[in-house]
Amino acid sequence: MTIYRGSSALVLGCGLAAIAGCQSAPPPPMVVPASFRPLGVNAPYLMGDVIGGLKPRSAKMRAAKIRPLSAYETAAYMADLHSELRRQTAGIGLDVLQVAGSIVIRIPAIFTFDAGSAAMKPQTDATLLEIARTVKTRNRTFVDVLAHTDTSGTPQGNKALSEKRAAAVATYLASHGVAKARIASRGMGELVPLYNPEMSETQKAANRRIEIRLVPYRS
């Protein structure tokens, strides 16, 4: 808890100068879609290594002359990035999570793909553009794109579909300024649904999601 000195003087000053806007408006509340809560942030696939392995991914980052984070910089850098992404996406309906020192942006199906399709919706462009603007300037992170399907169809078909979806999002980010050296993608198919079993179309749509995982690039 932060303790402020001179609280009486502050209250009096605000009372006298309320018309001048002494009190600032609170930040907008963070919207956490209820449909994202069942799986939470403890799923093993969110806790593991970056896609393709840390060593080869780090080599690509070095070749692109991206500067790694020191041990002293990492926590503050990721906290600032998390705050910026939350401000940027407030009210949109995305879920920005802190997971084991990384950040996971979960994007629901309404902003991504229709069932059985790897074609991005018009809403996807607007949503990903906002994310790309921040991610491309905060370039000291790996960018993992994970795509998921619902459980309709066969496991093999869903795996292939999710690979196409992940590649589509990765291509979009690269085309909007995020360095290719930072990006890798993987289709998860139906392996890690938020809802299992799926009891409604809403739950199916929740399972059909994109996740962008930002992992600090450390020295």
pLDDT digits (tens, 9 = 90+) for 175-209: 999 999 999 999 999 998 888 888 888 888 888 89
Go through 80-89 and write b for each residue having 16 or more CB atoms within 10 A of its CB, e for each that does not.
ebbeebbeeb
Residue 168 included in any domain: yes
Tokens of 54: 């840390």
Residue 172 included in any domain: yes
Residue 107 included in any domain: yes
Q: Please state the rounded mean pLDDT for residues 93-102.
A: 88
Go through 41-67 and write b for each residue having 16 or more CB atoms within 10 A of its CB, e for each that does not.
eeeeebeeebbeeeeebbebbeeeebe
Q: How far is Cα 213 from Cα 208, in angstroms, rounded to an integer?
A: 16
Residue 91 included in any domain: yes
Residue 6 included in any domain: no
Amino acid (1-letter code) at residue 175:
S
Residue 21 included in any domain: no
Residue 195 included in any domain: yes
Structural domain that includes position 98: 31-216
Q: How far is Cα 44 from Cα 90, in angstroms, rounded to an integer?
A: 27
Pairing of β 210-216 and β 141-148:
antiparallel
Q: How far is Cα 8 from Cα 52, in angstroms, rounded to an integer?
A: 57
**What is the average pLDDT value for the chain, to the nearest integer?**
82
CATH number for 133: 3.30.1330.60
The structure's pTM equals 0.80
pLDDT in tens, 42-68: 678 888 899 999 999 999 999 999 999
Give the number of other Cβ atoms within 10 Å of residue 123's Cβ.
Answer: 13
The CA R_g of the chain, rounded to the nearest whole Å, is 20
State yes or no: pLDDT of 117 exceeds 80: yes
Q: How far is Cα 214 from Cα 137, in angstroms, rounded to an integer?
A: 13
- pLDDT on residue 24: 44
Domain count, the chain: 1
Residue 157 included in any domain: yes
